[in-house]
Amino acid sequence: MKWRNEQMYHLRQMEPLSRSAQDLYFNNTISQLFNDEKPDQILFSYLENDICIGYGGLVHINWDDRHAELSFIMDTQLEASAFAEHWTNYIQLICEVAFKEIGLHKIFTYAYDIRSNLYPILEEQGFSLEARLTDHKLIENNYVDVVIHSRLNKGNYLRNVSDADLDITFRWASDPIVRAYAFNKKKISREEHTTWYINKLSDPQCEFFILVDKGRCLGSIRFDITKDNEAIISYLIDSEHHGKGLGKEIIIKGIERLLSRRPEVSKISGEVDYENKASIHIFQTLGFVESESDGHLKYTLITGDENRK
C-alpha cells in the first residue's frame, strides 16, 4: 500500500489507498485467488535476504488464449538506486513461472511512456515493442503514450548475464565435458570462478550473454573487446544440449547483439583447439577465415564482410 501510494504516477490507480480499502481488497479479492484453479492473477512477493522489497506477478490472465500482463512494483527507494538490477532479476524469475511452470504463450507489459529506463531492460530480456497507443493517458494535464512490450514463449534468445547466473556459469565451467574443449583444462574452484565472474560483470569491455529457451539456460557467449576494437569470442553450450546446433545459433545471435551494442567493433575472432571439430565446423560455416595461432587455430571475421551470413 505504501509503495503504491508513493508511485501512483506510473500505476493505474486513481487515488491513494487507505488501510481499510487495502484490507478489503486482500480479504475479498486476494484471498479468493488461492481457491481458484485458474485465477485471473497470480501474485508473488519479491525477497532479498528474506526481506520483501517488491511484489508483482501475472495479472489479467487469459487462460483460453494463454497470455497475461506482467506487473511489478518495488520499494520506492530502490526505484532510484537499483531499478535495472531488480527489474532484470524479476523478469527472469517471472518468465520462468509464466513459460516453464504455467506454460503461457505470451506475456506483455502495459506502461505509461514516462519510464524510458524500463524499455532497454525489457528488450534485453527478449521483449519486443508491440504497440504504442498515442496520447492515451492524461497525466498532470499532459497526454502521454502507452507502450506495450511483449514476449512469446517460443524461440531461443540472448539476455545479459547477471549476478544470478553465478551458479549456472560455474556448473558449466566445471563440467568435465565442457572443460575438455577449454584451453585451460585445469579444474577450477568456485572461489576462482567467482572472482573471475565478478570481474567480467564489471568490465566495460566485456559483453556477456546467456542463451535461454522457455526459461532454461542453454549456454553462454562472451566477447572481450580489445583497444583495437577486436572482439575475442568465447562460448559454450550446456553439455546436456550438445549436438542440437546451438553452437552456431548462439554465435549468430551473439554477433548480432554485439554489433547492435558495439558498432565500432571491426573484427571478431576466436581460437579453437585442433580437437574441437564442432567449433571448427561452425566457424568455417559462418565464413570466418582460418589461420594458425600459437598451436591453435584462429578464426577471424571482418564485420560487414559480404561473406558473413
Task: Name the superfamily (CATH) of residues 2-152.
Answer: Gcn5-related N-acetyltransferase (GNAT) (3.40.630.30)
State residue 306's pLDDT score. Answer: 40
pTM above 0.75, yes or no: no
State residue 267's pLDDT score. Answer: 95
Q: Say if residues 17 and 2 touch (Cβ distance below 8 Å).
A: no
Return the closest-CA partner of residue 285 out of 303, 299, 267: 299
State residue 154's pLDDT score. Answer: 73
State residue 305's pLDDT score. Answer: 44
Where do the structural domains in the chain lie, given as residue ranges?
2-152, 157-302
Domains 2-152 and 157-302 alike in fold: yes
β-pairing, 106-112 with 41-48?
A: unpaired
Angle between helices 277-285 and 246-261 (to 10 degrees): 50
The span from the CA of 209 to the CA of 195, in Å, is: 18
Residues forming beta bridges with residue 178, ordered by sequence position: none
State residue 308's pLDDT score. Answer: 44
- Residue found by looking up cell 572443460 in the block: 179
State residue 304's pLDDT score. Answer: 59
Q: Which amino acid is at 30?
A: I
Question: In this structure, what C-alpha cell is assigned to residue 281?
Answer: 565446423
What's the full length of the chain, in residues?
Answer: 309
State residue 279's pLDDT score. Answer: 92
State residue 111's pLDDT score. Answer: 92
SS3 category, 307: coil
The span from the CA of 71 to the CA of 4, in Å, is: 12
Question: In this structure, what C-alpha cell is assigned to residue 105?
Answer: 504463450
Query: Which residue positions in the chain have pLDDT lower than 70?
Result: 183-184, 215, 304-309
Q: Say if residues 32 and 41 touch (Cβ distance below 8 Å).
A: no
State residue 276's pLDDT score. Answer: 87
Topology given in CATH for the domain delimited by 157-302: Aminopeptidase (3.40.630)
Q: Say if residues 222 and 216 touch (Cβ distance below 8 Å).
A: no
